[in-house]
Chain A
């Protein structure tokens, strides 16, 4: 059973600090990795995708991928109250269609003023 694991949280981070969200996956052959942000009652919004080992930065967001250790993380710098949401990690176990993507159950992030 291919799995994607996330700590459900809630993860509470003070405003202005760095929020670190982690995700581990079981299929060593996984090729692409995504982070989605989902506000309560809304649909998931794609915020980062990463395909190669290392870091990928986009504004305040940095995705980190370590295929050897089978984890992907999302760092949010200078956390803002608007970052309070559930963050879903998604993993494509192969170079394949979207239907194979496995979603984690999400980590609830709360930014406290």
Chain B
């Protein structure tokens, strides 16, 4: 079974630009979560989508947004990029099993110059 896929894998942007990252979950998974990982802050939860609805959102500014499509694929968007947005953005998918089991994609490494 194919794992979680994320595109693009690497991205370089400049301050003020916007970026869209894509995530395709494991087949059958309807829950998709996004995380930001930086050396100093560790894994920070951004948001979770389930059945095209945002179920929870972490403590990030409104510049960070996302959506989920009917096929469970998800995108996240960051507008007006700041230097501090440089990070590894991880997508994780899982079943709606209540346990919270989730599998991570390879991540998108974003560098903001």
What bracket does the count of chain B residues touching chain A fall in? 20 to 34
The reply to whether A97 and B104 contact each other, CB–CB distance below 8 Å, is no
Q: Which residue of A lies closest to B35 (CB)?
A: A103
Any B CB within 8 A of the CB of A68: no
Q: Are A49 and B33 in contact (CB under 8 A)?
A: no
Nearest chain B residue, comparing its CB with the CB of A90: B100
Query: Cα distance A46–B96 when bound, in Å?
Result: 17
Are B42's CB and A98's CB within 8 A?
no
> Is the beta-carbon distance between B42 and A96 smaller than 8 angstroms?
no
Q: Are A97 and B106 interface neighbours, CB within 8 A?
A: no
Per-residue contact bits, chain B 61-104, to A (CB 8 Å; 1 contact, 0 not) = 00000000000000000000000000010101010101111111
Q: Do the beta carbons of B100 and A51 come within 8 Å of each other?
A: no
Residue in A45, A46, A95, A99 whose Cβ sees the most chain B Cβ within 10 Å: A99
Q: Specify which of B33, B43, B96, B100 is in contact with A32 (CB 8 Å cutoff).
A: B100
- Determine the chain A residues whose CB is within 8 A of the CB of B90 once the complex forms: 43-44
Q: Which of B92, B105, B106, B107 contacts A98 (CB 8 A)?
A: B92
The answer to whether A103 touches B43, judged by C-beta atoms less than 8 angstroms apart, is yes
- Expressed in whole angstroms, the Cα–Cα distance for A105 and B37 within the complex equals 11
Determine whether A42 belongs to the interface, using a CB cutoff of 8 Å to chain B: yes
Proximity bits, A68-99, B CB within 8 Å = 1, else 0: 00000000000000000000101010011111
Known contacts A44-B90, A103-B42, A106-B42; A96 and B100 CB within 8 A of each other: yes
Q: How far is the CA of A97 from the CA of B31 in the complex (A)?
A: 8
A-contacting residues, B2-61, CB 8 Å = 31, 33, 42-43, 45, 47-48, 50, 55-56
Q: Are A42 and B100 in contact (CB under 8 A)?
A: no
Q: A44-B104, A45-B104, A105-B42 are in contact. Are A92 and B56 (CB under 8 A)?
A: no
Contact status of A49 and B107, CB under 8 A, knowing A97-B48, A97-B96, A103-B42: no
Residues A95 and B98 in contact in the complex (CB < 8 Å), given A46-B103, A103-B43, A105-B42: yes
* Cβ 8 A contact of A92, one of B47, B88, B100: B100
Q: How far is the CA of A44 from the CA of B50 in the complex (A)?
A: 21
